[in-house]
Every structure is written in C-alpha cells, then in structure tokens.
Structure 1
Amino acid sequence: MKRLLITATLVLAFLNLRLTSEAVAQQTFRAAFARTNITPLTPQNLLGYDPRMSEGVRDSIYHKVVLLDDGKKKFYLVSSDLGCIATVTYDKAAARLKKEFNINPEDFWWANTHTHSAPEVGSPGVIPLFLGSRYEVKYNQEYAQFIEDKLVEAVATARNRQVPAKLGAGWGYSRANVNRRARGVDNKTFLGENPDAPIDGKIGLLRIESVEGKLMALIANYPIHGTVLSVSDKRISGDVAGEVAQYVEEQTGAPLLFINGALGNVAPRFSISVSNTGKKDGQLRQFRKLLGEPILEANKRILGTTGSVKLSTSGIVIETPRRADIKTWPDDMKNYLRIGANGVALIKMPIQFLGINDDIMIWSAPCELFCEVSNEIRGNSPFPFTFYAGITNGTLGYLPTEEEIKLGGYEPMVSPFSPSAARDLTEGVSQHLDKLSRQK
C-alpha cells in the first residue's frame, strides 16, 4: 500500500509538471511596447485656431506603439502626440510598413491624440475646403517625412521586443470633459460649455502585463479635445493627453497609450483663456487628478487577465452623401469619394474593427465623431467591452448628428458630411458588430 501511495504521488507530480509545461508551451500571446520622440527641433505650424508657428517646447511629444501577437496575427496600435493626420498620410505610412515589414493595413492603426499644441502632419485633407486661410503656407514636408521615419523606427523596435504577456479589460469614469456645443438664449450654438448636453465620461482600459503579473502597458480610451492650453501659448505640448500619460507613467512605471474617442463635440472641462495665460500650467495639471487618477483606479479594478488571446480584424466601407453645397474635393483624396449613378457625391469612410477574444471589440473611424453616436453604438453592442478609437487612420473631419447640424455652429460649418451621415454610420457599424457577434 505504501509503495502504491508513493507511485501515485510521483505520477501526480509528473502530471502536474507536464500540465504546467504544456501551459507554458500554449502561452502564445506576446506583446511589446516602443516609443520614439517626435518633438520638432524647428518651429512648426500648430493645429487649430488661426495659423500659428510653434515657439519652444513645454513637454516632448512621442510616437507610442503597442504590438499584440496571438501567435497567428500581429496587430500594431500607434498613438502619436500630433494635431492631425489626413487619410492619405496614413495610407502612405501603411504602404511603407507593408513594403518593409509585410504588415497588412488592417493590422496597423495610427491614432493621434489631437493635441492642438502639436503640428498637423502631411496633407491637410478636407479642412482647406472650409478653412483655406489656415493652409496658405504649405505643410513642412521635411517634418512630415521625419514623422513617418520615426513611426517606422518605433514599429521596428516593437517587433524586436516581444515577450509572453497577458491581457485584460476594464472600465473607468471621469468628469474631465464637457459638451462644448454651448447655446445662447436665442438657441444659437457656439464653442463653449454645455453641461446639459450629451457627454461620454467612460474610460475604456486595456491592461497588458507580463506572465508574472507585472504591468507592461496601459491603453486608455477617452474622448477629449486637446485644447487646454491657450491659443496664445505656442509651446509644443501633448496637452491633456500628454499630461495625463506622463502622470500615469510616473505612478505605474509603465507606458500609457492614449486613444481619443468620440471627441467631436467634447471639450476639456477647463481651458486656459487668452487673458489667463500667466497661469500656463495650473489648469493643465488639474487633469492629473481629473483623468489620471480615474485611469489608475480603473487599472486597479482589472483583476482578471489572460494569456489566452485571439485577435481578429475586419473592415467595412460606409458610403454616405457629401454635403450638398460642397462642389470640390482634394485631388489627393479621390479614393475617398465616389460619384453615384444619380450624380450624388458619396464620401467613402473606412471603418476598422479589432476583436480580442469574445468580449472586447474596438472599432475605429477617420473622423471627429459626435459622442452621441458612439454612445448609441456602444449601448447596443453585443460585446461587453466596446471601445471607439476616434480620428484613427486619418480624418475626414467632423461628423455631427442630424439634430446638431440643424443647430449650426462651428463643427457643422466645417464638416463635409450631410445630415444622414451619423445614421448611416450607426447602422453600418451596428450591423457589422451584430454580424461579428453571430460569427463568434
């Protein structure tokens, strides 16, 4: 009997060792992070407002790359502290990555934090149709090439840093933003603050950690315009996204990628007025508490991570009528417009989807979407964690709701989309999410 017990114990120990070894062998999910500094060394045109040339640097700006690899598919998510990139600028970078590393475009997303204290890069896209005076000076081709080269460099670095990893998802909440479609007593709309209007305060969070549980990187998704710093402050800065990322990284010792959401009608809760520029940094630093702390709290609540990860990507093209009074279109963006059989000009909007296992779905669109649209899509989504990556892979401009277009104001004035665009997008994305859910 004693010999049988010893034999049984040895067999159990062997089986346990074998199961542990098989679990390690089945750990196919790997991840990596890389960053590269893209702070310009010479003055550059800054995003937004009237034409402005940068003067000095408040804080450095970066490309940040997270590489996810499930053993069969590699996915690259890039977040850049830039004001804006056009869809054709994304296309050019994607073609280069395909040529140099054989990365398919659907596996490469390029988001920008939309800080107004950093340059627009490359082609201005559709914006000169409405704000031509801002682009009387041609964009800096040398800096645009520098940005592309640095992006390729960061991707190459990430490819050489992959290690076994685990992933988890969670939610947080912050009141760091406010609807910026202010109303007067005459119901006219202007840029300001409207606390009674729709807003999205949810923080979507992905946690990437080592197999031992050490934090490797966070990906935070939250809608907010990068307009805290005053128009008269011409220093290069990551603005609110950069400030929050720096704080979270100081607290965790791990990098944070900030992915903006449906920010089209969403402003930071505080902005520095022209008359208050003596307090240049005070209000910006408040966002460490307003948004940085909620991100840290959301990270603490992610208690379950897994090394069993499966990635899937897909995409659709939603065609929606161009605004009727627009009669021209940029020559370099002809691939994003189609003239229908009835003569109606249709904007072609590429929508991308990244699925992670059965419960996480991230979708992206190249536009500054109004938050009501992403709120509705998320509310009806079959996936428990549905995140929207806004102004990703370029931008086609503001995409307001039909109701807000009727109320006028800045965003509808500079949008190329017709009143039906929001509904076309909602229906197209929702139908595709339902299709993906049925497939899973």
Structure 2
Amino acid sequence: MHEESWHQARLIPTSGINGAQEQERRATSAPLAVLSVVPEFSKALLAPLGAIRGTTETFIEVPFESPEGKVFPDGLIRIRRGSRQWTALIEVKTGKNELEAQQLESYLDIARAEGFDALITISNEIPPIPGHHPTSVDRRKLRKVALHHIPWSFVLFTAIMQKEHRGVSDPEQAWILGELIRYLEHSKSGALELDDMGKHWVSIRESVASGTFRANDAGGAEVASRFDALLRYAGLRLGQQLGIDVTPALTRAEIAEPQERMEALLKQLASDGSLTGGLRIPHAVGPLTVSADLRAGRVTCQVDIPAPQTGRQLTRVNWVVRQLKNARPDVRIETLIARARGEGPTELLEKVREDPKSIAPDSNREIKGFRVALSVAMGPKRGRGRGSFIDSVVETVDEFYGDVIQNIKPWSPSPPKMRPSPELDGDTLSSTDLSSQDQAVAPA
C-alpha cells in the first residue's frame, strides 16, 4: 500500500458534517476551543472588542431562561483576571445563513439580565464598514450590552496573522492554531469567503448600463453595500498575504456616518455608472483606489505617486518608469501637473518605456506626481468563479499591488552635504577667522 493515499489525522476533521446544524455546531466549538488554549489568538481576536487579558474559558450551547422559554445561545466566552471578569454570548451562522434581529435582541436581553458585557456574532456577512453590525437591532437594548460582529473571513485572517506573522510562543499551541486554519479554509466548514453580490446585482447592473438607474431604486443600497464589503474582503485577503492590516480608505465622517458613504456611492452610480472605494496599505506610496465602471464593464485599480521634487521633467518620468519594470505593458500612466486643471499627458507603459517624452510636459510646467492605473474587463456574474465580478476585483487588486505598488519606493531628497572647511595658513590672525556667515573660500 502506498502511503501517498493515506489521509492524515486532523484535530478538527471536516468529515462527518451532515447538514447545516452539525456544520454550525462544529464551527462554533472549534474556534472557541482554540481561543481557550491559544492566548495570543484570544487576545488578537477579542481585545479589540473590549475583552480583558486573562484566562479564557469557552462553552457551547449554554441554556438560559427567557420569556419565550429556554434558549441556547451557540456559545459563551468568559475571561477572568483576579476579581475582574468579562463575559460574552456567542451567536454563529455558517454558509449563507444570515443573522436574525429578533434572535439577537432576545440574546441581548439575556446578556443584560445576567450582567454580561457583550454579544458577539460570527457569520459570513461582511459589514461594509469595520465596527458596524450587519443586522439592525433596537438600539435601546445596547445601552448596557455591546454588540459586535466578526466575519468568518476576519476570524481566518486573524488566525493566519497570529500564526504566520506575529507568532505563537508555544509550538504545540501554534500547531493547534494551524489545525483551526486548515479547518476554516475547508469548503465543508461553512466559513465561506464572500461569494455573492446579492440578488439585485444583475438587475442593477443592467439598469446602470442602460442609463435608467436612479439613486433611490430598490436594490441599489444592497449593491453599494456589497461593493464596500467586497473591498473590505479584498483588503483582508491582501493583508493575509502581506502580514499587515489592510483597511478600507474611509474618512472619519464616513466611518461615523455610514449612511453618508452609502448616499455618495448611490449618487455616483446614478451619475456615471461606477462604484469607487479604496484600500489603505501601511507603508505603501498611497491608497489603492478601486473603481468598477458598470457601464463600460471595466474594473480599474490605480494609485497616485508623488514625483521627485528635483530634477528635469524627463528625469522624473524615468524615475517612475524604472520602478514599473514588473508591470504589464497595458498599465496606464498619467502625469499630474501642478496648478493645472484637467488631465495631464497619458500613455500606456509600453509606449512610455520606448519614449519617456510622451508623458513629459513642457519645461515650464511642473510635474507634481503620476497616476498609475490598470484597467481590466469586469466579470458580470454575481457569484464566484470564472467570469464573476467578485473574482475580477479581487484578482486585479492582488495583481496591481504585486506588480505596481509594492515596487514603488517613495522619493526622498538626498541628505544635505557638509560645507568643506577652508584650509588656512598657520599664521593667520584669529581676528580673520571665518564666521558661519562667510562664504567658503577655496585655498589659493
């Protein structure tokens, strides 16, 4: 018998999952068990939610009495440190199952009655803005109990970040965390990636293409929300590969008032048929902007690069072209002109490599930067796979970062040089010593 055909024993097997209920129960128990034995993972996932540092205990299907009778939240987390204690109820959904407001409000009432600190939900729903919950509940129930949401993609992201990049001090705990990662990455776990643009995607896309879409049309808000969720998902995937936190590029006003961001997207979709957002990547030359033009059927990724502040026009052009040696020839470069209205000279990288002067403006016009963009055909399908919108966005983000942004080193001026001291004769009178205000004089 050949050992290649043998299946390695797993701590958290995916075999034997029969139906949504068993899938949900196992998806609850596995992460909670790992949280209780890997302190670094527990801290990384729960500290941002207000959890204290201490010993983590986890439980599943804890019974509570409610006006509707006995209920069983999927799980409970309790962290103790001395006399302090932090407790949260857990509600889990897998696959395409969505959270229900009535159930969450019932659990919030239980948490308040028991003096618990929070209710944490985990599902495949990805809020377009981090920190916001995908399900609307009665805000009066949040006065004493916090409500948090963690997408499955973020649970997986946090686990990979901790094991592969931040590190786990204990080798056995690192192996256990690796087993959780393997489980969550398996298709049977129910911890799906973002795989659908929603039921209104096709109708909205078609109405935008025909020019009949209006900002208040039914389904527009869902499409706009899923676009932002897609950008957040693309950022999680990219950050998972880079070992850093890639976050949506949002203003403080947009974070505080998500409705403003939603209204802006809908107006943009109605006026020019496109959706635009960005990703903020630590230490990158600038935010990565993603635009989906539903009329033209194109997805575009771009970044603005500040130009060197010294040198001739051609020198500045060559500076950016040298750093794009790995980029595709159909990448577009636009020269940004200081104090100028409208667009600057634009050409494809293939031509600029042959003739850098093609995007160099007149010598009396100052180059303030370059806009580098990659535009590809947009997948029209609402789901995942070849020809899908989701895959076309995610793949373009990954390619554009790998070929363009990660290779751009921002320009910085050379350090100033010290002025050479003049060589003077030994019998020079002290009264004639040079001052710092005198010009350096070369010896005769």
TM-score (norm 2): 0.20
Instruction: From the two aligned structures, give the one with the greater helix fraction.
Output: 2
Instruction: From the two aligned structures, give the one with the greater strand fraction.
Output: 1
Work out which structure has the larger RCO, using CA pairs closer than 8 Å and 6 or more positions apart in sequence: 1
| Structure label with greater radius of gyration | 2
